Amino acid sequence: MSYQTGYRIYGIHQDEFPCTTESFSGTLSEADYKAIMEEAEKLPLEELEKVEAGERRSDGWITLNSKEHKVEAPPNRAVRKKWQEFIDGVLKKYAPSEKREFTKRSIQGETVKPLSITFSELLKNPQAYDGKRIRLTGYYHAEFEESSFAISKDDLHHFSEALRKYDHCLWLGSFSTFKDLRKVSEANDTEIEFEGTLDMESHGHMAAWMGELARLTAAKPVEIAEKPKSAEKPSK
């Protein structure tokens, strides 16, 4: 059994944002797992996907028996409250707060000037830049369920079997809500200089990347310098 809380941040319009995450990892007995699943299967699911007129839509999902169910009903709806009470009860019984691990972090906001570093410097000690605003140049590739940013094209798929991650490659996130959005897909498969916030606790699709460059504030494709023209031969 694993449990983790986190933040989904779209923009920080201040110099610093302190945050605390919590996590738990443990083993459930087969009997406990069966009891939890039986209780979960009794809870309503269809109502979670319905949103009434005037209600604010939520964004989430529940996977039960290998089937995914959208969670769009707001927290104040009865069906959401039932599910929340169930989850809170499971956590209280099997993952009490005294057994959880709490991590406090400080994240820089978009008002902080980014630090220019190289990918080589980042890979030597990525944790040293966690939560920091950085400016980084590398090779970018995007396709369905992939948004990869690495030092070179060859490093895009450098996969570590031990870590089960692309350990030389960042997941490239979206632009900060405090900056004008720019489409970077037009500059796919090329070198780009990005500015953003490094998040070493976020690992992209299927948690397969070493970290994420989040809340981007700039994207500048690296221009290939034109080769100097050969000198014209003097006329006779």
Q: Mind listing the domains of the chain with CATH numbers?
A: 27-94 (no CATH), 107-221 (2.40.50)
Amino acid 185: pLDDT: 58
How many residues are there in the chain? 236
Amino acid 227: pLDDT: 43
Contact 94, 28 (CB under 8 A): yes
Cα separation, 99 vs 111, whole angstroms: 37
Amino acid 184: pLDDT: 61
Which region holds residue 190: left if phi is over 0, alpha if psi is between -120 and 50, else beta? beta
Amino acid 183: pLDDT: 59
Counting as low any pLDDT under 50, the low residues of the chain are 224-228, 230-232, 234, 236
pLDDT tens digit sequence for 129-174: 999 999 999 999 999 999 999 999 999 989 999 889 999 999 999 9
Longest dimension (CA), the chain: 97
Contacts of 101-105 spanning 24+ positions with Cβ under 8 A: 101/22, 101/23, 101/24, 102/20, 102/21, 102/22, 103/20, 103/21, 103/22, 103/23, 104/18, 104/19, 104/20, 105/18, 105/19, 105/20, 105/21, 105/130, 105/131, 105/201
Cα separation, 14 vs 6, whole angstroms: 19
Amino acid 228: pLDDT: 47
Cα separation, 202 vs 137, whole angstroms: 20
Contact 197, 132 (CB under 8 A): yes
Cα separation, 44 vs 61, whole angstroms: 13
Amino acid 182: pLDDT: 59
H helix runs in the chain, sequence order? 30-40, 78-94, 119-124
| 8-state DSSP, 90 | H
Cα separation, 143 vs 18, whole angstroms: 33
